[in-house]
A and B are shown apart, each in its own frame.
Chain A
Amino acid sequence: MNLTRRDLLSSIGVGAIASLAGCGYQAAGGERVWESRQQIAHTTTIVAGETALFGARQYSGRQFDWDREQWYDAEETVLTKYDPHGYDGSFARFEPQYAIPPVVTDSYVFIGGSTGEVVAVNITESEFGDVTWRYQTDQDIHTLVATESIVACYTADEQLLALDPTSGNERWQTRVNGRSELDCVAIGEQVLFVTVDDNTVHIASIMDGDEQWTAQYLQPAADSHHELIDVAVHDDTLIISSHNPDTETDTILAINSTDGSVRWSIEPMPQAIGAAPIVTSEHVYVPVRRGLITYGFTHGEHRWDLDATYRRQSSVVADRRGVYLFAQIDGRPNPRLLALSPGGEHRWDTYLGDDFSRIGALYLCGETLITRASSRFYGFRTTPGRRLSLW
């Protein structure tokens, strides 16, 4: 067949115009856009950042050192980066193995090692995998939190320790007596450490670790206590959720982090299942037995409930466009990925396929929803694809 240059160019032209001008395939919301090449997802601890997901694995075995040209026994953490487009070619390995779930900021992943060491691993594009600094603590690390301005860790000897995130230099440390069940969050210029053993919230300054204020909010019965479910931070508000196993009730508190004043509280939380609330600038979404209950972020007023049509939902994430969750929907093939607007209106729901009978947690990285199903990670669209048009 003779293909002239004119024919070739006109074919390319027609194809280009067609693809640009308004025909093709419009992806639906929730459509799978990628799956990880490596089948290691089931062995990883997931660390979700704003723009990428990281899978951390513990590795024990023999490794070959190319510099020294000899084998050695390795006890390492292997970190794999999954960007929102599914590229999983970036990975790093370093000692030691992580002991607690790593934490991530825009520039670093921080590892609390099994040897009491804190390791900062660069995750920027140009220096991915470089160990920027190491800090050796005297004890095992119980809790590790980080922001762009501080890394705080709480150790087994009840020390709260603050490190500079870029250099690893110690800023301060302070003893936090008798708070073994401590959760710790960093928020802006302050460090909050929260314990509900005594139903008390404590806040310390980022500058020197001095306690700024302490307040007791929960009023337990004499023979009962609260267990901390989660501490979420948004803007200057601390959303603390706790569970009372004796009464099988949950409580949600919204506290102003600057002065400890209570903005609002929900006690007891109806139909609670002990799940952590999902907080956005407008809403607090709380997974409950029947579905999802939504409250206003500012005043805590009840907004809407998820329709009972959607059964057995799990793994809720949210962004400014709304909330995403796995759900079984009456009369539809299961399982489905469901998206609702901030006002509770149905946006889309998508059948995921037979591979997804056992789904892990859902994460939101940029514009991509990521989940783990058996040994792979999968990325899904948060919005329908663009329909190219001449309009």
Chain B
Amino acid sequence: MHWEPNRQLQLRIITAVVLIALLPFAFVYTFVFAMNTIGIVLLEALTERPWPGEFYIDPVFLSILVVGGIGIQLRYGSNRMLSSLNARVVDANTYPSLHARVTRLAWQAGIPAPTVAVARNSTPNAFAVGSVRGPGTVVVTTGLLETLTDEQLDSVLAHEIAHLANRDATVMTVAWILPTITYYLALAAGYVLYGLARIFGSGGVRSRGSGDGRAIVVAIGAIIISALVTLAISALFWVASVLMHRVISRYREYAADRAAVSLTGDPLALASALETIDGTMSEIPDADLRALDGGTEALYFAPLEARTFDSAELVSTDIFPDTHPKTRSRIQNLRSLAGEVT
């Protein structure tokens, strides 16, 4: 097999880029709409006077904001991802064999050798973080280095190099900006509601003045409604953006598998790597699995095991479509490719 661009993947990447650019606009204008309907009513209740004007955001300003946000994500997103997973960049002296493999495969794929990073985690996995100007970063876990054979490791690294060569790693990195923003907004709104619930639960608000307390009731009502609306809109767009993220993610894995095979010429090595990783997943300690479940699971070579932890915290794969195609299906595809290769 030889390396060739995947037209279907390119089309999906273009679609994803368009959605990545449009979703923030839709999100902001939905918020502006909510402010001009529900927000104005709340303001009128709070201030006891009409607010006939309207909230607005200048489209040019919003465009600059979105482009700026994407730029910041491109510039700092990879660093943030690496630090969130406790991965550190390693040089050729520390991991000479790993560096040599990555450099060789990158040369084969026709891209500059990416930076190599290692995360201390017993879960065998790997992922690639894209960049616009730089060569990107390939991250592997110590568990991966300890678990796989040389051929399997080569095929996994080739898979991650393929993500960088296809540029889908860059798109995935940027696509995570809206889920991040909406997640933190929803979290903030949730904390406001939680705080209010705690205050009321403890009987913390008591009228001390001679007034009828209407202003306090209205203010608290306004805060609750604002928080609920913020939560609802943020959650809606978080779901939408995560869905988009995961749908792209599933297809790009097939494409990267095929590209990896074209680089190594050994589909069975990749299939066996998947089998090995899948087989060890059930033995991974909760702490290590949870450490990788930071919202970046769609980037990994192999999907994380959907597991309910002791503390009843959900792995996010439980409630959303899979980030990856079924591992069994990927293995079957690779075995079919092996038939073609031989």
Contacts and interface: CB of A to CB of B under 8 A. Distances in A.
Interface string A25-37: 1111011100000
B55 A24 contact: yes
A154 to B, nearest CB: 44
A391 interface: yes
Interface in B58-83: 58, 60-62, 64
Contacts, number: 62
Contacts of A18: 61
A351 B60 contact: no
A22 B52 contact: no
A26 to B, nearest CB: 5
B54 interface: yes
Contacts of A355: 49
B52 A351 contact: yes
A30 B52 contact: yes
A22 B58 CA distance: 5
A361 interface: no
Contacts of A27: 52-53
A188 interface: no
Contact of B60 (A24, A25, A391): A391
Contact of A390 (B53, B54, B55, B58): B58
A28 B52 contact: yes
Contacts of A352: 50
B194 interface: no
- In this complex, the member of B53, B58, B62 whose beta carbon has the largest number of chain A beta carbons within 10 angstroms is B53
Interface stretch (A145-153, A163-171, A380-388): A380-388
Contacts of A23: 55-58, 61-62
Interface residues of B, number: 15
Interface string A78-107: 000000000000000000000000000000
B53 A25 contact: yes
Given A23-B56, A25-B54, A390 B61 contact: yes
B51 interface: yes
A350 B56 CA distance: 19
Contacts of B51: 25, 31
A323 B20 CA distance: 48
Contacts of A387: 56, 58
Count chain B CB atoms within 10 A of each CB in A25, A32, A384 and give the residue with the most: A25
A353 interface: yes
B56 A26 contact: yes
A22 B53 contact: no
A28 B54 contact: yes
A359 interface: no
A185 to B, nearest CB: 38
A389 B50 contact: no
B225 to A, nearest CB: 18
A262 interface: no
Contacts of B53: 25-28, 31, 384-385
Nearest to B39: A25
Nearest to B54: A26
Q: Name A's interface SS.
A: loop
Contact of B57 (A22, A350, A385, A391): A22
Contacts of A24: 55-56
B52 A21 contact: no
Contacts of A350: 50, 52
A391 B49 contact: no
Contacts of B55: 23-26
A21 B61 CA distance: 6
Nearest to B44: A353
Q: Which of B48, B49, B50, B54 has the most CB of A within 10 A?
A: B50
Interface string A336-351: 0000000000000011
Interface in A10-28: 18, 21-28
A23 B58 CA distance: 6
Contacts of B52: 27-28, 30-31, 350-351
Given A24-B55, A25-B55, A353 B60 contact: no
A317 B48 CA distance: 27
A351 B51 CA distance: 9
B61 A32 contact: no
A348 to B, nearest CB: 8
A25 B56 CA distance: 6
Contacts of B49: 32, 353, 355
A44 B62 CA distance: 49
Given A32-B49, A353-B49, A389 B60 contact: yes
A388 B62 CA distance: 13
Interface in A348-391: 350-353, 355, 384-385, 387-391
B214 to A, nearest CB: 15
A373 B48 CA distance: 15
B26 to A, nearest CB: 16
A326 B287 CA distance: 69
A232 B54 CA distance: 39
B50 A32 contact: yes
A30 B52 CA distance: 8
A35 to B, nearest CB: 8
Contact of A388 (B48, B54, B58, B64): B58
A351 B49 CA distance: 10
A67 B60 CA distance: 63
A385 B52 CA distance: 11
A9 B62 CA distance: 21
Interface in B3-19: none
A169 to B, nearest CB: 49
Nearest to A354: B48
Given A23-B55, A28-B52, 4 more contacts: A24-B55, A25-B51, A353-B48, A387-B58
Interface of A: 18, 21-28, 30-32, 350-353, 355, 384-385, 387-391
6 contacts: A23-B57, A24-B55, A24-B56, A28-B52, A353-B49, A387-B58
A-B complex: 4 closest residue pairs judged by Cβ atoms: A22-B58, A22-B61, A28-B52, A23-B57
